[in-house]
Amino acid sequence: MAEKLILDLTTKLQLAQNPSAQESCSKSIYRIPKNLIDVNSQAYEPKLVSFGPYHHNSRHLLPMEESKCSALFQFHRRIARASKTPNDVLIAMRKVEPRLIAYYDDLQVEDDDKDCLERGQFCRHGWLKEKDEFLKIMIVDSCFALEIMLADKRLTAGEQSEYDSHDPIFGVERMIYVVPDLKRDMLLLENQLPLLALTTLAAIDGSGIEDVNSLIRAFYNLSSASPEDQIMDECFHILDMYRKISTSEGEYLPSYEQNIQSATNLRNVGVSFCKSKTNSFRDISFNGDILSLPQLKVDDTTESLLLNLMAFERLHVTVGNKVTAYVFFMDDLINTVDDIALLRNEEIIKCFVGRDENISKIFNKITKEAILTGFTDGIIGVNSLGFFILYTSGYRCVPMGTGTYLWIPVFTDVHQCVPAMGNAGYPIWVPLCTTSGYVLYTLCTSGYL
């Protein structure tokens, strides 16, 4: 019995494939775990189109395959003008095929995969055993993704389209309606294409696509003050690029001591709100009595976008938790419709759909099953997180003029306070009559606040 057990274990160890360091680093396109799907299954499902192998042949996405053929035809017309042939495309993509495969966490879909059946996919066994099936998907889907972004760029610039005006996807009138859903589908974690596939095809394309990064930025209207090369360095896919640009500004990180009250509660103790200079999820700061927050545009795709960004941060351990930290922060700030109304009035939340109650539910819902890790060692999460400690100790902010703010307990005499200089350059007045006041004074004078 013991010998058989040892033999079985030895066989399993021999069959186990330990990925190389390069493969582990490249792996970045994951299947969503069931516990996350249970929070909102539709948030991770494509509406119109599949990109890559995970949702290939899903029944409700099959109608889009015809439009992929149209895009492939236009792509071949352009490469012909550049004296390139389909064989050139095949050679270029075959060279990078092993690297493209390494991006995917799971390409083996078993015949009895119940999750696959429930999600409406035609199950197939062993993607990699089907001759050139994976490579065909990479070429066709990457051509389609490039074509969508290129057509949208030309439409925005008022240039003439290469497609018939009645084309169901690329026709001028139709694109206005389908592009929002296409943008959403291209930001789903399970629907990602390696950026390497897009850049490889763009290098062959005869349309002058010199910079795929700029094409993606324009498609999603993304901008950042940080150098583009710094942000784009080693992006895995479009979702990863979106995440990097959306967290490129600001220094906010969660703190162990963070205890954030709702927006209305903060307003009631004298805190004002304003828009940050950028829309980066990390551009959160507190100076004096003003809490600055990035503007968030809320529409039908917001919940799906945030959930997929959070899923990527959770599954790819090296990218941190910047988006997740922002979502937890907002979940603390937003408890009721009054909190939404306050933030909307300050243009911190810009709503394009739904009622305030629905927006409140979004943040309260998407933190379920989410995990916030990677806290800072100190007590400073927002530039002057001591503010939150002051508030939760029962303090109130009273503007005194000339950039000075008085933080006092509700029942403490103003004359029992002493000044201390905060790290934001504002004096913070701290009462000495209570134990909590003494602790706060110590924090201030020690340079923590």
DSSP string, 337-352: HHHHHHHHHTTSEEES
R_g over Cα of the chain: 26
Q: Please give the pLDDT value at position 426.
A: 45
Q: What are phi and psi of 411, to 5 degrees?
A: -110, 25
> How crowded is the C-beta side of 220, counted as CA atoms within 13 Å?
25
Strand pairing of 272-275 and 417-421? unpaired
CA angle 339, 345, 348 (to 5 degrees): 75
Q: Phi and psi (nearest 5°) for 406?
A: -105, 120
pLDDT for 116 = 53
The pLDDT, as a whole number, for residue 129 is: 55
Averages of pLDDT over each 10 residues, the chain, 449 residues: 59 54 72 92 96 94 93 91 91 96 79 51 51 91 95 85 81 86 97 96 78 92 66 82 93 64 87 93 86 93 96 92 92 92 95 82 86 53 47 53 54 44 45 42 39
Compute the distance between CA of residue 218 and CA of residue 430 in angstroms, rounded to an integer: 49
Residue type, 423: N
In whole angstroms, what is the distance from residue 416 CA to residue 433 CA? 7
Question: By three-state DSSP, how is residue 430 classified?
Answer: strand
| Residue 74 backbone class (left: φ over 0; alpha: ψ -120 to 50; beta: rest) | alpha
The predicted pLDDT at position 395 comes to 56
By the 8 A CB rule, do 70 and 148 touch? Answer: no
CA distance 392 to 406: 16
Q: Which two tokens stand for residue 390?
A: 């002051």
Check residue 115 and give its pLDDT.
54
Output the pLDDT for position 349.
Answer: 95
